[in-house]
Amino acid sequence: MDSQKENRVNSELGAPLARREWLAKAGLLSLAAGTFKFGARGASEVKGTGSKPSGGLAGLASEFEVASTYLNSASIHPITTKAAQAIATYQDGRLMNEGASKSSTRADRQKVFSLFGKMVNAEPEELSFVPSTLVGENTVCDGLGITGAGSRVVTDEYHFMGGMYRYMELEKRGLDLEVVKAKDNRIRIEDLDKAITPETDLVAITLVSNVAGFQHDLKAVCEIAHSRGVPVYADLIQAAGVTPIDLKESGVDFAACSTYKWLMGDFGIGLMYAKRESQELLTRTRFGYWQRAKWETNYSPFDEPNNIVPDSPFRPGLSGLMGVGTIASAGVAALSYSLELLDRVGVAEIEKWRQPLLRRLHEALPSQGYLAMTPEDSKSSILSFARKDLAETNGAKLEAMGVKVSMHTHHVRISPSFFNDMDDIERLIEALA
């Protein structure tokens, strides 16, 4: 690689940090829930239109108002009635009515960083808000200087199509792109091992595949990549909130996820992670007031003279490096409650809850002519099964029975959550017969 590629950035605007120096420093060389009515009483008048599902983990189905047998949370997860209440409280603040004093966007933001950090083992200064998963991934790539010719990226065919699109477009501009193929519904670690070379600038993977639920061994991927001086990015959207994640233990450098799926936030708000040591690899490529810790001015008659009108230090950590501007505060309000719920329940308990549901599907559907696309030993929240012309033969039946899944021409993706139970699974099996 040329010297320009070798140099990354650790200062406010660009002091270079060589990859080997970074490696030594890092120690690596070896809203669907209901409708709202606002007015003078504001949040107290939130009303839902659905019905409460029965069962679920620890009776938590009562938190939801889902008017169907909903097994499609990998597409959009329902929010709880209390998350809807949190949004309504935020809207009171926007309405500036008598309930406005109960709304605090600052407190919500701090709570989200604290609870999400606890969930995935990350420090608040390693987190930043982003509008979506892909904004996070693009931010990483831009910050690493991966823009086309002279760069090399390794990914796999289960990487989310939106992220893959970036690399395919950059390939047209000269990017050296290697896409590892799946074998037996898995991305084999030995195939990634062969693909990752010291010349690679980034390994980009989706931790849990949105296609069929395959889950990478993130720590193993990182160990291989780091042994060759290569940073790793992970798309967490189908894992965060539903599959246990320990970012520090895994060693992953960068990660991101939107929150409208298993985290039960909303569209327009996501979270980006960059390990403290790995932040030094990123160049600041976007600029905005959110990066500043405090604004100092000189336009008041009583200010000290200053040639630069707005002047302040950067915020510490990732927000000071990659934050830009306004975020979707209504989504943050929902997320603040949802993360509290997930913290109370425990992601490990959610993973444990769904295992009998997954086993039942693996037992029943092959006998009905379905081909499993998901490894039978997978613990993730997504299963996919294929049968020719499935949408044509069973789509109307699923609709008539009120069963919601992600239906495709020849396969179905099923994604149970903690509000589902075995009755839901049996109803699905009947609808797919």
pLDDT at 54: 56
Tokens for 398? 């699923």
pLDDT > 80? residue 270: yes
What single letter denotes the amino acid at residue 24? A
Residue 320's pLDDT band (boundaries 50, 70, 90)? confident
CA distances from 144 to 188, 192, 280, 365 (A): 26, 21, 10, 45
Residue 16's pLDDT band (boundaries 50, 70, 90)? very low
Percent of the chain with pLDDT over 90: 70
Task: Give domain 3-30+107-343's CATH number out of 3.40.640.10, 3.30.1330.10, 3.30.1490.20, 3.10.105.10.
Answer: 3.40.640.10
Among 218, 265, 277, residue whose Cα is nearest residue 241: 265
Tokens for 40? 């003078």
pLDDT > 70? residue 428: yes
Residue 177 CA to residue 206 CA, distance in Å, equals 16
- In the chain, where does the domain assigned CATH 3.90.1150.10 lie? 31-79+347-433
The values of phi and psi at residue 270, to 5°, are -140, 180
pLDDT > 60? residue 367: yes
pLDDT > 90? residue 5: no
Range in 154-163, 178-187, 325-334 with the lowest mean pLDDT: 325-334
pLDDT > 60? residue 405: yes
Task: Give the pTM.
Answer: 0.84
Rounded mean pLDDT, 280-297: 76
- 223 CB-near residues (< 8 Å, 6+ apart): 251
Rounded mean pLDDT, 400-420: 97
Give 35's DSSP letter: B
| Strands (DSSP E) found in 141-207 | 152-156, 176-180, 202-206
Span 368-381, pLDDT tens digits? 999 999 999 999 99
pLDDT > 90? residue 22: no
CB 263 within 8 A of CB 338: yes
pLDDT at 30: 41
Residue 207 CA to residue 226 CA, distance in Å, equals 17
31-79+347-433 has CATH 1.10.10.10 classification: no
pLDDT > 70? residue 145: yes
pLDDT > 90? residue 31: no
- In the chain, where does the domain assigned CATH 3.40.640.10 lie? 3-30+107-343
Residue 54 CA to residue 421 CA, distance in Å, equals 8
User: How many Å separate Cα 193 from the centre of its chain?
Assistant: 25
**DSSP track, 125-144:** GGEEEESSHHHHHHHHHHHH
C-alpha gyration radius of the chain:
23
Average pLDDT, the chain: 86
Higher pLDDT, 72 or 291: 72
Span 96-136, pLDDT tens digits? 887 777 777 788 889 999 999 999 999 999 999 999 999 99
Span 38-49, pLDDT tens digits? 333 344 344 443
